[in-house]
């Protein structure tokens, strides 16, 4: 894909959604951090259902740490891998209180030192909470980047590096959200909705999905 088409793709995505953001519900960087930890291999919908009950009760590192693992589990047990996530969240809260005065750190190294926080989670927090132009490559972004030709790569790290290099600077801050939402609702995994896609004419995907016939 050439630079002109790539720029036009993001121009259209921006026109359709000028101020994109995560679908996770949060009111502070700490709430976002915990929600992203909980969202690994789970849907944003399931995480939001759990945190709507948790955060009114405990939404600071000290408060959630005080719950302990056994106290936290009832709030998050509807989320996949909840036992492991409970351990990670409680230890993360302990470290935030002990090492960071209860604040979410703003550097990748400090974030990735927290249990349950990998590069993708750190990128989400840095981008969404602190406005750092990072791109967290999840399954949606990986698929969209490869299928469209925006930034093809063999693994998530390769795709992230290409996106950071190839996405025009003016779009870099919000590219993460545009690509996730496009992959979640239009460029879906099994049968992309090419017939309803605003960038289909710019996309390198060869076997475009036609408009479904009525009644099918």
> Which member of 53, 85, 87, 120 is catalytic?
120
187 assigned ligand-binding residue: yes
Give, rounded to a whole angstrom, the gap between the first and last alpha carbons of the chain: 33
Q: Which of 88, 82, 28 is nearest to 59 (CA)?
A: 28
Rounded-to-integer distance, Cα 134 and Cα 123, Å: 6
Computed from CA positions of residues 122, 175, 149, 197, in that sequence, does the dihedral angle turn out positive or negative?
positive
CB 151, CB 162: distance < 8 Å: yes
Rounded-to-integer distance, Cα 12 and Cα 17, Å: 9
CB 210, CB 199: distance < 8 Å: no
93 assigned ligand-binding residue: no
Q: Is 138 a known active-site residue?
A: yes
Long-range Cβ contacts of 203-209 (<8 Å, 24+ apart): 203/9, 203/147, 203/148, 203/149, 204/1, 204/147, 204/148, 204/149, 205/147, 205/148, 205/149
Rounded-to-integer distance, Cα 19 and Cα 75, Å: 31
CB 131, CB 155: distance < 8 Å: no
> Which member of 70, 138, 191, 204 is catalytic?
138
Residues serving a catalytic function are 120, 138
Binding site members: 187, 194, 197, 203
């Amino acid at each position: 894909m050439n630079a002109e088409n790539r720029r036009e793709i993001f121009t259209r995505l921006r026109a359709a959604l000028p101020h994109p953001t995560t679908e996770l519900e949060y009111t502070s960087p700490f709430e976002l951090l915990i929600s992203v930890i909980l969202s690994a291999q789970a849907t944003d919908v399931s995480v939001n259902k759990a945190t709507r009950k948790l955060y009114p009760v405990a939404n600071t590192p000290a408060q959630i740490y005080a719950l302990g693992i056994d106290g936290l589990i009832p709030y998050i047990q509807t989320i996949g891998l909840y036992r492991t996530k409970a351990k990670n969240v409680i230890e993360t809260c302990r470290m935030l209180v002990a090492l960071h005065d209860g604040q979410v750190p703003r550097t990748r190294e400090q974030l990735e030192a927290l249990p349950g926080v990998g590069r993708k989670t750190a990128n989400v927090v840095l981008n969404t909470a602190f406005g750092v132009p990072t791109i967290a490559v999840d399954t949606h972004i990986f698929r969209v980047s490869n299928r469209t030709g925006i930034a093809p790569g063999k693994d998530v790290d390769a795709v992230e590096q290409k996106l950071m290099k190839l996405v025009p600077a003016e779009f870099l801050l919000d590219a993460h959200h545009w690509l996730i939402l496009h992959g979640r609702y239009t460029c879906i995994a099994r049968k992309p909705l090419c017939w309803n896609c605003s960038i289909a004419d710019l996309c390198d995907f060869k076997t475009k999905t036609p408009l479904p016939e009525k009644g099918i």
